[in-house]
Amino acid sequence: MIASCQSNVERDVGGLACPTGAHLVPRAPKATETAKCLDAQGRLEGPAVEYCDNGQLRFSCTYHAGEPEGLCSSWHCDGSKASEEEYSAGQWNGRRTVWDSGRKLKDEHYRNGVLEGMRRQWDAAGRLVSEEHYENGKLDGEQRAWNAARGRWETSLYRDGAFVDVIRSSDAPPRP
């Protein structure tokens, strides 16, 4: 888990360049795990990084006016990827992917902070367990999910977030 990482307060955070008007706030001994840039109002502005005790990069993101902007990434302390999230004006906007132990758990898309498009989820063994389509944050269209109790894939139809009907049940997983 990311939360179990410890800071390495001796780590050199050189090379972190702040934009004009912002200043670097290096990590103080035993006070914080991060190095970040702050603007005159004390808001995050520019790059921010965080490290695990073993020196592994744990988090990297760029901020504008205190809000995440662009690609933010996190890693587990063993170096495996934990997440990648695309931001615009502080909201998820684009792809968001989550991993655990090197296995992808979730891949989804957002528009202006709202779930939009395809969401896929996998179990801890790496097997696809659901595919869902979202419009404006609501299930809309076909949703394919593994029904463990029945040992079958079920395809259901949703409109504007409301369940309509089960339209198909099969032993075969959905096509990628």
122 vs 171: which has the higher pLDDT: 122
Mean per-residue pLDDT, 104-122: 96
Q: Give the up-direction half-sphere exposure of residue 88: CA atoms within 13 A in the CB hemisphere.
A: 9
With cut-offs at 50, 70 and 90, classify the pLDDT of residue 33: low
3-state class (DSSP) for residue 144: strand
- Cα distance between residue 28 and residue 149, in whole Å: 53
* DSSP sequence for 88-141: ETTEEEEEEEEEETTEEEEEEEEETTEE-EEEEEE-TTS-EEEEEEEETTEEEE
pLDDT the model gives residue 173: 61
Residue 13 has pLDDT above 50, yes or no: no
Residue 64 has pLDDT above 90, yes or no: yes
Residue 162 has pLDDT above 90, yes or no: yes
Mean per-residue pLDDT, 155-172: 87
Task: For residue range 79-88, list pLDDT tens digits in order.
Answer: 999 999 999 9
pLDDT the model gives residue 121: 96
Mean per-residue pLDDT, 163-170: 86
Query: Distance of alpha carbon 68 from its chain centroid, rounded?
Result: 12
With cut-offs at 50, 70 and 90, classify the pLDDT of residue 34: confident
Model-wide pTM > 0.85? no
Residue 124 has pLDDT above 80, yes or no: yes
2 vs 101: which has the higher pLDDT: 101
With cut-offs at 50, 70 and 90, classify the pLDDT of residue 22: confident
pLDDT the model gives residue 69: 97
